[in-house]
Amino acid sequence: MILLRLISWPYVRKHLLRSILTTAGIALGVALLVGMRTANDSVLRSFNDTVDRIAGKAQLQVSAGDAGVAEDVLERVQAAPEVSAAAPVIETSVETGLAGQGKMLVLAVDMTGDRSLRNYDFDGGDEDVIDDPLVFLAQPDSLIITREFADRNGLRTGSKVSFETMEGARQFTVRGILKAGGMAAAFGGNLGIMDIYAAQQVFGRGRRFDRIDIGLAEGVSIEAGTAALQRALGGGYEIEPPSGRGKQFESLLRIYNTAVSISSLFSLFIGMFIIYNSFAIAVTQRRAEIGILRALGATRGQIRALFLGESAVAGLIGSTAGLGAGLAFARSLTGVTGRLMENIFGVPQNAQEVSLDPRFLVGALALGVVVSMIAAYIPARSAARVEPVQALQKGRYQVLGAGENRARRWAAAACVALGLACLWAGAYRPLAFAGYSLTVAAMLLLAPFLSLELARALRGPLRRFKPIEGSLAVDSLIQAPRRTSATVAALMLSLALVIGQGGVARASYESIRGWVDTTLNPDLFITATENIASRGFRFPASMIPEVTKLPAIEETQPVRTARVQFRGKPVMLVAIDMESLGRRVRRIVVAGNIEEMNRRSAAGQAVILAENLANLEHLGLGDMVEIPTPRGGLRLPVAGVIRDYSNQLGSIFLDRKVYIREFQDDTVDLFRVYLRPGVAPEEGRRQIIEGLGSRRRMFVLLNRDVRDYVLGLTNQWLGMTRIQVIVAVLVAVLGIVNTLTVSISDRRRELGVLRAVGGLRAQIRGAVWLEAAAIGAIGLVLGLSAGAVVLYYELQVIQRDVGGMPLAYIYPLGVAATLIPIILGAALAAAIVPAEAAVRSSLVEALEYE
């Protein structure tokens, strides 16, 4: 398109800084989207990749959530004619203790049968070759590692590797090394293979396996195999292809993903405003040029195409830059996200490689271009409408027509009315979202009008403060609402977002702290892993009396937390002595009678649900809950709903006796320990460590440590969503710089006159700075008020769809108070370059008539 090169390119070159800033808005939005999504995808991919490689030829896997399967299940599975091979597996992750190596994924198998499902491709290397290392695996201290891991750590056959087990640190002997590739590439190469019966002992699995991997007989389909196994085992088991584990992990990640996607889209939306702003300005500035083109015979379509073409190019450049930045960002974010997921969900992660999804990347690129073109559509249309004769005359085009203003206000009023109607209609989810969108639309429609009114209101005080600079600054805003309104709107939106996020963060933190205060009241916690969420190690039931008999201890509550499939989602089953819990913890009741729910659940006749699960699954008092168990499924009524934040997808509380009976699993993840009155927590800890510690792996945590850990994790989680806040502020600053740059080039002549008749540099600078400060102040007033509304809707959305957790509405005054200096400071910083340009430009040129 010749017009683009002839007409647009010189304009872009002349306004290079502004053009860069314009595309930067899109670039940031795309970068955030690509960065966060790619990091999440990489974590998920790496998880799936590991699952895939470890699954070998297994077509189905039999498991029962975290509870594991008993040994006799293996025989029943093997007996099915549809099954050609069945191999039990225990899988867990351990700290290697080797510098820079992090975790190792340990896969424990039964060497006699496992070869039928997995390929063990051994690497002879230079050492004494062992004929069949699998044979040596029968020795309980044998470990097979990968070539990659061996090379990285200088290990060879016969080397010793030690890691923590339930029996304290244990030494293992490397008895074989897997060739690189295939299974050996799982978990980034940090894979160790050991004997399953040894693993039962060292990882506290009792006489249970984590799952059974299955190969089907010739000609048996996955569906037929699943049906046959269901018949053979009865209900209560999950029978799924290996990919099902990926799906489960994905549903854990979903909450996080939703939060991330919403905020990336929000910043893209703000970027859209910047594009709109720039193009609206460009059209007014290039009016004469458009007029000449039209006079020379350009059609309206050509003019529109010219501007849309420009926006497409801007979008493409912006998204390409955003893509690059996003991928760089993803690189540093992948590890962080992986660790966060591991800490929160207890699923071991070793995501290092960034995996690229070409389709998503192309989509993001296209999204950037489309968003840019949508943003430029209205300016392009108004450019096409320029009448050549008018355009060649001098005049003011920056003023919004009175009619336009009225139409906007009507539209805004309609949006508000519809939004309120949606709110009133309430419960239905799409309506709530529609209400949110309508309210945002109303705010955007009203922004120009309100910013004009605010500018008028500012005129008096500013003129009193600095007569000349003040009125110059404010008049510039009043006279050119088009120039400022989009920036103010973008600023308003991003500040509203920050307030919304801040309010949500604050409310989440407050409610979690309230819950921590009431629920996490034991003096000590004993866990098998440093990370409370991880269930890789477990204590045997035999440890319970050993703990209870210690003199410092008044009471202890063994807890088993197991993730089970409930209505297709991995929810947490919390098995605990309900009688003791009812006595010790005053829980926050959402529905039901506290005495009754304690009594019935302690008697094993009912379960108690966490509020979020009840909300998400629409369960209430008296509803039946069906939990798959190896004994064929458990059906119990809901006796109560309590506030609980221990799991994002929700928890079901159940008496320990019932759990042991149904799952045949008496292991313990965590002891909640109450000390006798007068015993210092440190003293209690000393007794426990001395009484039991030397023999087993164990962490005794003080109440304070656990609280700090939980609240720290909460902060970390909220911190991830805080990234977009930074981006929002950055985008807003871009908008201000953009507007000021334009404002100054628009008013070159005016500022020139001012200097010609005696305006000192400081005075000119003052005028530009005041203008920036005024934009910032107007944006702040609008944004902080709009934030109050956005916060309300965000809390609604979170309650309904994401967490199921009602959060208190508290306006984050602290956040608002910090934003004021940040935004005003950013506005002034944004004014530095434009102000210097205004002061240093040639006076003669400024005064020249174009």
Partner 1 sequence: MIRLNGVSKQFDGKRKVVALDSVDLDVARGELVSIVGPSGSGKSTLLNLIGGLDRPSSGKIEIDGRDVASLSDDDLTRLRRDKIGFIFQFFNLLPSLTCVENVALPLHLKGLPRKEIESRARDLLELVQLGTRMDHLPDELSGGERQRVAIARALAFNPPILLADEPTGNLDTHTGAEILRLIHDLHDRLGATVLIVTHDSGVAQSCPRTVTLRDARIAGDARR
Ligand X SMILES: Nc1ncnc2c1ncn2[C@@H]1O[C@H](COP(=O)(O)OP(=O)(O)O)[C@@H](O)[C@H]1O
| Positions in the binding site for partner 1 (CB under 8 A) | 396, 467-468, 471-472, 475-476, 478-479, 749-750, 752-761, 763, 842-844, 847, 849
Q: How far is CA 478 from CA 116, 403, 446, 755, 786, in A?
A: 79, 17, 15, 22, 22
Contact 227, 234 (CB under 8 A): no
Partner that binds at residue 398, options ligand X, partner 1, none, CB closer than 5 to 8 Å by kind: none
Measured from the CB atom, the residue of 296 and 757 that comes closer to partner 1 is 757
With CA atoms as reference, report the closest residue to 815 among 507, 555, 561, 572: 507
Q: Minimum distance between the CB of residue 517 and partner 1, rounded to whole angstroms?
A: 59
| Residues in contact with ligand X, shown as a per-residue x/- string from 815 to 844 under the rule CB under 6 A | -----------------------------x
Those residues with Cβ within 8 angstroms of residue 219's Cβ, 6 or more apart along the chain or in another chain: none
| Residues in contact with ligand X, shown as a per-residue x/- string from 112 to 151 under the rule CB under 6 A | ----------------------------------------
Please tell me whether residue 453 binds ligand X under the rule CB under 6 A.
Answer: no
Q: Which two tokens stand for residue 319?
A: 């998204």
Measured from the CB atom, the residue of 83 and 480 that comes closer to partner 1 is 480
Partner that binds at residue 478, options ligand X, partner 1, none, CB closer than 5 to 8 Å by kind: partner 1
Measured from the CB atom, the residue of 726 and 760 that comes closer to partner 1 is 760
Q: Minimum distance between the CB of residue 737 and partner 1, rounded to whole angstroms?
A: 23
With CA atoms as reference, report the closest residue to 341 among 739, 720, 727, 726: 720
Q: Minimum distance between the CB of residue 839 and partner 1, rounded to whole angstroms?
A: 9
3-state helix, strand, coil in the chain (%, to 5): 60, 15, 25
Give exposure, 47-73, as e/b (b: 16+ Cβ within 10 Å).
bbbbbbbbbbebbbbbbbbbbbbbeeb
Partner that binds at residue 580, options ligand X, partner 1, none, CB closer than 5 to 8 Å by kind: none
Q: Minimum distance between the CB of residue 841 and ligand X, rounded to whole angstroms?
A: 11
- The Cβ-side half-sphere exposure at 817, using a 13 Å CA radius, reads 4
Measured from the CB atom, the residue of 316 and 843 that comes closer to partner 1 is 843
DSSP 264-303: HHHHHHHHHHHHHHHHHHHHHHTHHHHHHHHHTT--HHHH
Measured from the CB atom, the residue of 482 and 748 that comes closer to ligand X is 748
CB atoms within 10 A of CB 655: 24
Q: Minimum distance between the CB of residue 844 and ligand X, rounded to whole angstroms?
A: 6
DSSP 680-692: -HHHHHHHHHHHH
Measured from the CB atom, the residue of 116 and 471 that comes closer to partner 1 is 471
DSSP 158-176: T-EEEEEETTEEEEEEEEE
Q: Minimum distance between the CB of residue 848 and ligand X, rounded to whole angstroms?
A: 7
d(CA 97, CA 599): 46
Measured from the CB atom, the residue of 14 and 583 that comes closer to partner 1 is 14
Task: Tell the residue number behind the tokens 């979008």, with chain if given.
Answer: 315
Q: Minimum distance between the CB of residue 751 and ligand X, rounded to whole angstroms?
A: 17
Measured from the CB atom, the residue of 107 and 754 that comes closer to partner 1 is 754
Partner that binds at residue 624, options ligand X, partner 1, none, CB closer than 5 to 8 Å by kind: none
Q: Minimum distance between the CB of residue 842 and ligand X, rounded to whole angstroms?
A: 7
Those residues with Cβ within 8 angstroms of residue 583's Cβ, 6 or more apart along the chain or in another chain: none
d(CA 641, CA 839): 67
Q: Minimum distance between the CB of residue 766 and partner 1, rounded to whole angstroms?
A: 11
With CA atoms as reference, report the closest residue to 28 among 499, 279, 372, 379: 372
Measured from the CB atom, the residue of 387 and 845 that comes closer to ligand X is 845
d(CA 121, CA 118): 9
Measured from the CB atom, the residue of 396 and 549 that comes closer to partner 1 is 396
Handedness of CA 570, 575, 580, 584 (dihedral sign): negative
Partner that binds at residue 138, options ligand X, partner 1, none, CB closer than 5 to 8 Å by kind: none
DSSP conformational letter for 529 = S
Measured from the CB atom, the residue of 383 and 473 that comes closer to partner 1 is 473
Please tell me whether residue 845 binds ligand X under the rule CB under 6 A.
Answer: yes
Specify burial of residue 589 (Cβ count, 10 A radius: 0-12, 13-18, 19+): middle
d(CA 849, CA 393): 14
Measured from the CB atom, the residue of 235 and 460 that comes closer to partner 1 is 460
The amino acid occupying position 181 is G
Measured from the CB atom, the residue of 78 and 763 that comes closer to partner 1 is 763
Partner that binds at residue 716, options partner 1, ligand X, none, CB closer than 5 to 8 Å by kind: none
Contact 565, 240 (CB under 8 A): no
Q: Minimum distance between the CB of residue 756 and ligand X, rounded to whole angstroms?
A: 15
Measured from the CB atom, the residue of 211 and 747 that comes closer to partner 1 is 747
Q: Which uninterrupted H or E stretch holds 700?
A: strand 699-702
Q: Which two tokens stand for residue 5?
A: 């090169």
How distant is the alpha carbon of residue 808 from its chain centre?
A: 22
Partner that binds at residue 606, options partner 1, ligand X, none, CB closer than 5 to 8 Å by kind: none
Q: Minimum distance between the CB of residue 451 and partner 1, rounded to whole angstroms?
A: 17
Q: Which two tokens stand for residue 707?
A: 């609280």
Partner that binds at residue 682, options ligand X, partner 1, none, CB closer than 5 to 8 Å by kind: none
Q: Which of residues 66-85 bind ligand X (CB under 6 A)?
A: none
Contact 478, 456 (CB under 8 A): yes
Partner that binds at residue 99, options partner 1, ligand X, none, CB closer than 5 to 8 Å by kind: none
Task: Tell the residue number behind the tokens 């921590």, with chain if given.
Answer: 516
Give the binding-site size for ligand X (rule: CB under 6 A): 2
| Residues in contact with ligand X, shown as a per-residue x/- string from 460 to 499 under the rule CB under 6 A | ----------------------------------------
Measured from the CB atom, the residue of 596 and 848 that comes closer to ligand X is 848
Q: Which two tokens stand for residue 728?
A: 């929002």
Q: Minimum distance between the CB of residue 838 and partner 1, rounded to whole angstroms?
A: 13
Measured from the CB atom, the residue of 762 and 844 that comes closer to ligand X is 844
Give CA torsion, residues 332, 333, 335, 336, to 10 deg.
Answer: 120
Q: Minimum distance between the CB of residue 842 and partner 1, rounded to whole angstroms?
A: 7
DSSP 778-823: HHHHHHHHHHHHHHHHHHHHIIIIIS---------HHHHHHHHHHH
Pairing assessment for the beta strands 553-566 and 634-642 based on DSSP bridges: unpaired
Q: Minimum distance between the CB of residue 455 and partner 1, rounded to whole angstroms?
A: 12
Handedness of CA 729, 735, 738, 741 (dihedral sign): negative
Partner that binds at residue 221, options partner 1, ligand X, none, CB closer than 5 to 8 Å by kind: none
Q: Minimum distance between the CB of residue 837 and ligand X, rounded to whole angstroms?
A: 17
Measured from the CB atom, the residue of 352 and 763 that comes closer to partner 1 is 763
Q: Minimum distance between the CB of residue 468 and partner 1, rounded to whole angstroms?
A: 5
Q: Minimum distance between the CB of residue 443 and partner 1, rounded to whole angstroms?
A: 28
Q: Please give the residue ranges that form the binding site for ligand X (CB under 6 A).
A: 844-845
